[in-house]
């Protein structure tokens, strides 16, 4: 019995997808894999594999360390960074120390390519990825939160009911009454859904998406947004337009032919997920107009909820969400139950010396992250890392 490791070679995707399905339950086609790993905006992603040659020839892959090339802008200066994605070890080999040494070895190789690293880690491996990153020098910097705005009282009442303490849900009539009251009060706080002048907005699909205008808007505002995804046309078209998993729409606000702001969103199971939002000059009124218009469109189309994911200390975006009546319902329900909720999606960061020379890189106020930085898989799936 012996183990060996090496970088990816053509054909490895067969065993990679086999292990991926074993761990996540998701089935990934060859086309999906090519988009995600072999034909990214920056060419092939970084993939290092470990095998055990005593296993059947078609099932020798036991671990993968992989990084998705991601462009991050630090106050207008672009750096190539590595986002850990699909890092995994075979269940038969977990807890034996094998994976850590594999990632540690190739992390040193990766430092020759990338200027910074980050990871979003969930509970698929019970927090093990976060522990590995911590040992490698990553900082457990923040965690992801979800802000929601409900549009349908019936669906909201069901959600509130499911979060009530068991002793209340035991009395179904009481539980449903309480959830209905809470939902009614919260929906009243949302306010009305007023449409703006239609000629100042465009709601279009991917084929009509203004990627050139988006890149131009971003370049003019990158310094203001501190540390965020570098919204180049190449990255945006790959991440959004070429994405085989999700179809996106673009709500764009214009004035005199100039793009002033946009929301990229997708709809799944009647829920509107906000993938990215940006406004010229970080203008609060543009943010509000975009949120209000999307709320109006979503309500008129019969969608039940709007959701936006961001880092918990991204105060600028969170303030804009709260102004538009979005709430962190997970935190709200936890306070109602007087129970502490541990964050399930943490955010770890490793910065090279070169990047750390940039201004205030560890100040949370300077980070502006949306779902644009994530993998781009369906929200109802179980992505890893």
User: CA–CA separation, 13 vs 39, rounded Å?
Assistant: 13
- 95 and 67, same structural domain? yes
Residue 73 counted as domain residue = yes
Last residue of a domain, one of 131, 161, 187: 187
Residue 337 counted as domain residue = no
CATH number at residue 101: 3.40.630.30
Per-residue pLDDT at 262:
98
In which domain, by residue range, is 159 found?
A: 152-187
Residue 263 counted as domain residue = no
- 95 and 176, same structural domain? no
The string of pLDDT tens digits covering residues 145-187 is 999 999 876 566 666 666 677 766 766 666 666 666 666 666 6
Per-residue pLDDT at 359:
87
User: Scanning the structure block, which residue is given the tokens 């705005």?
Assistant: 149
Residues β-bridged to residue 267:
272
Residue 307 counted as domain residue = no
Task: Identify which of 6, 14, 17 has the alpha carbon closest to the alpha carbon of residue 58.
Answer: 14
Residue 8 counted as domain residue = yes
Q: What's the pTM value of the predicted model, to 2 decimals?
A: 0.88
Q: Are 187 and 156 in contact (CB under 8 A)?
A: yes
Per-residue pLDDT at 124:
44
Question: Which residues of the chain fall short of a pLDDT of 70?
Answer: 1, 121-127, 153-163, 167-168, 170-199, 330-344, 381-385
Quick one: 346 exposed, middle or buried, by C-beta within 10 A (0-12, 13-18, 19+)?
A: buried
**Straight-line distance from the first to the last Cα atom of the chain, in angstroms, rounded to the nearest whole number:** 29
Domain count, the chain: 2
- 19 and 99, same structural domain? yes
Q: Are 264 and 166 in contact (CB under 8 A)?
A: no
Residue 362 counted as domain residue = no
Per-residue pLDDT at 40:
98
Last residue of a domain, one of 93, 124, 144: 144
Residue 112 counted as domain residue = yes
Per-residue pLDDT at 163:
66
- 124 and 12, same structural domain? yes
- 31 and 135, same structural domain? yes
Per-residue pLDDT at 95:
81
- 180 and 63, same structural domain? no
- 88 and 110, same structural domain? yes
- 98 and 31, same structural domain? yes
Q: Are 102 and 48 in contact (CB under 8 A)?
A: yes
- 10 and 133, same structural domain? yes
Residue 90 counted as domain residue = yes
- 134 and 180, same structural domain? no
- 28 and 136, same structural domain? yes
- 28 and 92, same structural domain? yes
Last residue of a domain, one of 187, 213, 243: 187
């Amino acid at each position: 019995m012996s183990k060996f490791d090496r970088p990816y070679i053509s054909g490895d995707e067969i065993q990679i997808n086999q292990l991926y399905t074993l761990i996540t339950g998701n089935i990934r086609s060859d086309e999906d894999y090519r988009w995600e790993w072999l034909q990214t905006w920056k060419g092939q992603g970084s993939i290092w594999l470990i095998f055990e040659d005593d296993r059947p020839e078609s099932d020798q892959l036991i671990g993968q360390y992989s990084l998705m090339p991601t462009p991050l802008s630090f106050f207008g200066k672009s750096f190539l960074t590595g986002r850990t994605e699909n890092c995994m070890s075979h269940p038969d080999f977990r807890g034996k120390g094998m994976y850590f040494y594999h990632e540690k070895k190739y992390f040193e190789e990766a430092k020759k390519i990338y200027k910074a690293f980050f990871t979003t880690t969930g509970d698929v491996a019970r927090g093990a990825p976060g522990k590995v990153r911590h040992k490698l020098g990553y900082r457990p910097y923040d965690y992801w939160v979800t802000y929601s705005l409900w549009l349908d009282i019936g669906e909201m009442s069901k959600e509130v009911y499911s979060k009530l303490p068991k002793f209340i849900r035991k009395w179904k009539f009481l539980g449903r009454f309480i959830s209905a009251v809470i939902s009614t009060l919260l929906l009243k706080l949302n306010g009305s859904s007023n449409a703006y002048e239609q000629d100042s907005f465009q709601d279009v699909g991917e084929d009509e998406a203004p990627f050139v205008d988006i890149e131009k808007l971003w370049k003019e505002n990158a310094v203001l947004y501190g540390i965020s995804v570098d919204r180049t046309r190449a990255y945006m078209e790959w991440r959004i337009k070429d994405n085989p998993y999700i179809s996106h729409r673009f709500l764009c606000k214009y004035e005199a032919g100039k793009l002033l702001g946009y929301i990229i969103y997708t709809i799944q199971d009647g829920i509107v997920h906000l993938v990215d939002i940006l406004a010229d000059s970080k203008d609060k009124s543009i943010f509000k107009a975009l949120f209000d218009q999307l709320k109006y469109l979503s309500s008129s189309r019969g969608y039940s909820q709007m959701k936006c994911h961001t880092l918990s200390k991204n105060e600028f975006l969170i303030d804009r969400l709260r102004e538009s009546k979005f709430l962190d319902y997970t935190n709200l329900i936890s306070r109602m139950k007087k129970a502490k909720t541990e964050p399930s999606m943490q955010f770890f960061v490793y910065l090279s010396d070169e990047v750390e020379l940039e201004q205030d890189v560890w100040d949370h106020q300077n980070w502006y992250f949306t779902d644009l930085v994530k993998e781009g898989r369906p929200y109802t799936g179980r992505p890893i890392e």
